Every structure is written in C-alpha cells, then in structure tokens.
Structure 1
Amino acid sequence: MAPSRSALKRASDDLQKLGKQLLDLPDSRLDAIGMPENLREALADYRRTRSFEGKRRQLQYIGKVIRSVDAEPLREAVAAFQLGHAQDALALHEAEAWRRRLIDDEKTALDDWLAQHPGTDVQQLRTLIRNARKDAALTPDKRNGKAFRELFQLIKAALLAGDAGATDEIVEPEGDDE
C-alpha cells in the first residue's frame, strides 16, 4: 500500500527541516560531512538568496535533493553539532554557578572546589575571590568587573582541564591493555 499524501508531506517537511538545520552548521562542519556536490551547491545557493520567496523555494529544493541522498549521516552530524553546543552551554553555566558560590560563601565553597580540583593555585583563587568581593561592594558606576572575569576564566579553565583529565583517565587503561 502506498503512503498517504499526508505522510508524504510530513516526510517532505522533515527533510526541509533537516536542510534548514544543515544551513545552521558552520562551513567547517559541512565540509566534514560526506554529501553530494549538488546538495552542497543547493545549500550555498540558499545562503546567497536574499528574497523570502526565493529562500522558501530553495529550501524546498534542498528537501528534494536530500530525498535522493541517505539522510541518516546528515541527521547524525546535525545532532552531534547541537549536542556540542548544549554541552558548551552547560559548562558555562557550571562555571558561573561556581563563581557565584565562591564569591557568596568562601569557606565551604572553597573547600568543595579544592576537593574537586586539587591542582588549583589556592593563593591566586583566594586573591581573585577577594578582588571580586571588593568590586561587588563598590557602587555600580565604579565597578570594572575585571576580577569577576578573571575568576570566571580561572574556573572555566580548571573545569575544562578536569573534563580533559577525566577523559584521559578513561582512555589510558584501554591503551595499556593492548
């Protein structure tokens, strides 16, 4: 039994949405995806098109081109890109939460931080916390925010180093077994 007309329209809309998601990817990611040249050209034509109606028609064409291609690798590439952005946002939120916690409650937060990140330069961290508190105590027109930014950068770097270290620990034992 042939698919219904509504099912065909839904499938066509899904492919157009996939095409729109591909357009959101940076060129470096698109180059890494193995896609036919005609799809690559259709995406480039969409970016060059200025009118609303032209973009709408070009998006329909992109959906048509994707029908002739295996769409699963394209979906996987889009999902991987979106997951990466979500993880980056989570890391920034985590760094912001640590900064707020360190500034608000030095003793317990500092102990917790040092327990999780023992390689941190304690003197530098305490200095940055103290400077951020001094800056926060000033009136808004006299604040410069430098201490807040420096503290955030230190926390972010430590969190990234911790994540990389955790990944290395998982990978290394497998390499030793070979």
Structure 2
Amino acid sequence: MRRAPQDNDNNPPEPDDDADDAGRPSKSALKRQMHSLQSLGQELSELPASRVAKLDLPEALRDALAEYRRTRSHEGRRRQLQFIGKLMRQTDEAPIREAVAAAKLGSAKETLALHEAERWREELLASDDAITRWLNHFPETDAQQLRSLVRAARKDAKAEAPEQRHGRSYREMFQLIKTALAATAAPQPEDGEPGEDDDDE
C-alpha cells in the first residue's frame, strides 16, 4: 500500500517575517513598529497640554513634541515625527496609549451627547407629544420654560429672513436640553451648587 506523501517531511518551514534566524526582529517588523510609534506620537501631540503634562515623559520627548507643534512645513513635520518615533522606543508606551484612548473616548461621548441634544430639539420642535415624552424623561425640567422656548422657536422657524429662523429661543432650547442630558449622565454636575434637590426652582 502506497503512503501519501507527508508535506512536513520535505518542505522547509516558512520563514518568520517578524524575526530573523537569531530571533531578532526583522526589518519589516521594525518598520511596522516605527510607523506605529510615529502614529502614536502624532496622536500624543494632538492631546490637550493638560493631559500631556500628567504623563511621565522624558524631557527630550516633551521638547520634540513641542517642536513638532511649532513646525509648519510638511517635510519638517515628517522628519520631526520620525525623531519622535525613535524617542518613543525608549519610552513606556502603555500609559501614552491609555491617555490617547481616553481622549478619543471622551471626544466620542461628547459628540454623541451633542447629537442626542440635537435630536431632542428637532423632535420637540416637530411635535407636542415630544414635549410630553421629554417631561416624562426629565421631570426636573421647568415645563413652562420649555413650552415657552418651543413656541418661540417654532415662531422663529416661520420667519421670512433665514437668519431669524434659528434665533435665541432655538439656541436656548439646545442649552436646556444639553444641560438636562448632562445632569442625567453625571450624578453631580460640575456647575451645580451643593444643596438639596428639593430647593431647586
């Protein structure tokens, strides 16, 4: 009986793209790592200064980031970013990645909150039923103020002049909605004064 040929008997093992024969990272692996660190460096440079100040970064990296922000030419920024990538090879990147991820998450949450406020505003302008639903969801809202703003914003929407259609009431509605949404997301709003909820008017 004839045996089927065994592939693993004669075929040499495929080379590992990420390491050479001595177990060192290959050129392509090093290149990928460098590009990754450069991208991380660029994201780090875009963080608010207050967030960057909290990170334990080497002075050389802080200086390089400051220089990158000052540089205006495309080629100059590209070279500076390469330098930042090299510096980051000697830096613990884990806290930096955490800070960048936290900033992205915060930005995404803010965007979602703005979209939610805009959605509610359009619904309130479109239907009295939406006002009832809003007051059921947010009973702390001053119902009289809300109805007054909705009436005024609806009236402005019918104005002949385009600049009058989204007037003061339209903007004040947005602020009222945004504040209410933020209050439900955070148990203790930063701009609230300490005291009992019953005393709020």
Using the size of structure 2 for normalisation, the TM-score is 0.79
Alignment of 1:17-166 (within 5 A): 17-106=39-128, 108-141=129-162, 143=164, 145-165=167-187
Counterpart code for 1:137: K
2:9 maps to: none
Following superposition, the deviation at residue 145 of structure 1 comes to: 1.3
Q: Distance in 1 between matches of 2:85 and 2:170?
A: 47
Pick the structure with greater CA Rg: 2
Larger RCO of the pair (alpha carbons < 8 Å, separation 6+) = 1
Q: Distance in 2 between matches of 1:90 and 1:142?
A: 27
Q: Distance in 2 between matches of 1:153 and 1:139?
A: 25
Following superposition, the deviation at residue 35 of structure 1 comes to: 1.2
Q: Distance in 2 between matches of 1:166 and 1:38?
A: 40
Q: Distance in 1 between matches of 2:35 and 2:163?
A: 54
**82 and 142 in structure 1: CA distance in 2 versus 1, 3 angstrom threshold:** closer
Per-residue deviation, residues 15-55 of structure 1 (Å, max 9, x unmatched): 00000001111111110112111110110111222322221
Counterpart code for 2:148: T
Which has the larger helix fraction? Answer: 1
Identity of aligned residues (%): 54
Counterpart code for 1:128: L
Counterpart code for 1:49: T
Q: Matched residue of 1:165: which SS?
A: coil
How many correspondences in the alignment?
Answer: 166
Counterpart code for 1:140: A
Q: Distance in 1 between matches of 2:135 and 2:158?
A: 25
Following superposition, the deviation at residue 166 of structure 1 comes to: 8.3
Following superposition, the deviation at residue 165 of structure 1 comes to: 2.4
Q: Matched residue of 2:140: which SS?
A: coil
Runs ≥4 in structure 1, deviation > 3 angstroms? none
Using the size of structure 1 for normalisation, the TM-score is 0.88
Following superposition, the deviation at residue 114 of structure 1 comes to: 1.0
